[in-house]
Amino acid sequence: MNFNKAFLIGRVTKDPEVLMTPSGNKVAKISLATNEYQGKGKDDKTTFHNLVAWNKTADIAEQYVIKGQEIMVEGHIDNRSYEDKNGVKKYISEIIVERLQLGSKPKSEKQEYQSTTNQEKIATYDSIPVVEDTDEIDVKSIPF
**pLDDT tens for residues 51-76?**
999 999 999 999 999 999 999 999 99
In the predicted model, what is the mean pLDDT of residues 8-25?
95
Task: Return the pLDDT at 54.
Answer: 96
Task: Return the pLDDT at 127.
Answer: 47
How far is C-alpha 72 from the geometric centre of its chain's CA atoms? 9
**Rounded distance between C-alpha atoms, residue 74 and residue 8, angstroms:** 7
Kindly report the pTM of this predicted structure. Answer: 0.71
- Report if residue 56 sits inside a domain: yes
Task: Return the pLDDT at 105.
Answer: 76
Task: Return the pLDDT at 141.
Answer: 61
In the predicted model, what is the mean pLDDT of residues 4-27?
95
Task: Return the pLDDT at 39.
Answer: 87
Domain count, the chain: 1
The Cβ of residue 65 has, within 10 Å, a number of other Cβ atoms equal to 25
Task: Return the pLDDT at 123.
Answer: 46
Q: 126 pLDDT exceeds 90? A: no
- Report if residue 142 sits inside a domain: no
- Report if residue 55 sits inside a domain: yes
- Report if residue 143 sits inside a domain: no
Question: CATH no. for residue 112?
Answer: 2.40.50.140
In the predicted model, what is the mean pLDDT of residues 82-104?
94
Domain of residue 130: give its range. 6-134
- Report if residue 129 sits inside a domain: yes
